[in-house]
Amino acid sequence: MTDGATVPTVTHVSGRGVPIRGDDIDTDQILPARFLKETTFEAMGEYAFHDQRRDDDGAIHGDHPLDRHPDGEVLVVNDNFGCGSSREHAPQALQRWGVDGIVGESFAEIFHDNCTSLGIPVATAPHDTIARLQEYVEANPETVVELDVENERVSYDDTVVEVTISDSMREALVEGRWDTTELLRSNMESVERVHESLSPTQR
């Protein structure tokens, strides 16, 4: 995006579901640390859940949910998803693999904020709601899961469930204000006042 370009709004996303089961799925599982060595995000999509998707000899074994649902766009996850490191590479990898939204029991905070910065909505729902959705998309992989960001709802076939999206994320996505750089730069005079009031760090 270049300076002054408008930021798209994200009011809803939809696509086939991918159930990724398990609590505390950390960023090292989502994007193993050795791929952090690349200085651009370009190739990250290939590395999503790299180690879990491959045998010891490096071949994709096909049992991982990403490979069982290769056209999936909405991840359905459990508790504390994205815990661990601050690497934006993790949501970048998921987005570049094709993920447009994530529904889960709960998310680690930095991961949540990184998703906001990338325009990926993440919504939470109680354990049972998530478990039913995971079972459903497992059994019906063709089903389109729709995440309505504005109204905090997920619908699939005949079912509609309430979900929660944090106020700040919902606002940012719906209003097209998830690119914070422009927002922050519009206050540079006030920034300078705060800067002046603080003691210098380097002497």
Partner 1 sequence: MSERTLYDKVWDRHRVATLPNGQDQLFVSLHLIHEVTSPQAFSMLSERGLDVAYPDRTVAVADHIAPTTVEGRERPLADETAETMLATIEENVAAAGITYYGLDSSEQGITHVVAPELGLTQPGMVVACGDSHTATHGALGAIGIGIGTSQIRDVFASGCIAAEKRAVRRVDLEGDVDEWVSAKDLMLRLLADLGVDGGVGFVYEYGGSAVERLDVEERLALCNMSIEGGARSGYVEPDETTVEYLRGREHVPHGEAFEALAEDWLSFASDDDAVYDDHVTVDVDGLAPMVTWGTNPGQAVEITEPVPDPATLPPGDREAAADAIDHVGVTPGESMQGTPVDVAFIGTCTNGRVSDFERAARVLEGRTVHPDVRALAVPGSQRVKRELEASGVADVFVDAGWEWRESGCSLCIGMNGDVIYDDELCVSASNRNYVGRQGSKQGRTVLASPATVAAAAVEGELVDVREVVG
Q: Which residues of the chain form contacts with partner 1 (CB under 8 A)?
A: 1-3, 22-24, 26, 28-29, 32-34, 36-41, 51, 56, 79-80, 83-89, 92, 106, 108-110, 113-114, 117-118, 167-168, 171-172, 175, 177, 180-181, 183-185, 187-188, 190-191, 194-195, 197-203
Sorted by sequence, the CB contacts under 8 Å of residue 55 that are 6+ apart come out as 61
CB of 71 to partner 1, least distance (A): 27
Is the CB of 60 or the CB of 188 nearer to partner 1?
188
Is the CB of 138 or the CB of 146 nearer to partner 1?
138
- Asked if residue 103 lies in contact with residue 123, where contact means CB atoms within 8 angstroms, the answer is yes
CB of 38 to partner 1, least distance (A): 6
DSSP type of residue 35: G
CB of 44 to partner 1, least distance (A): 10
CB of 184 to partner 1, least distance (A): 4
DSSP type of residue 6: P
Measured CA to CA, the distance from residue 195 to residue 176 in angstroms comes to: 28
- Asked if residue 75 lies in contact with residue 20, where contact means CB atoms within 8 angstroms, the answer is yes
151: number of Cβ within 10 Å: 14
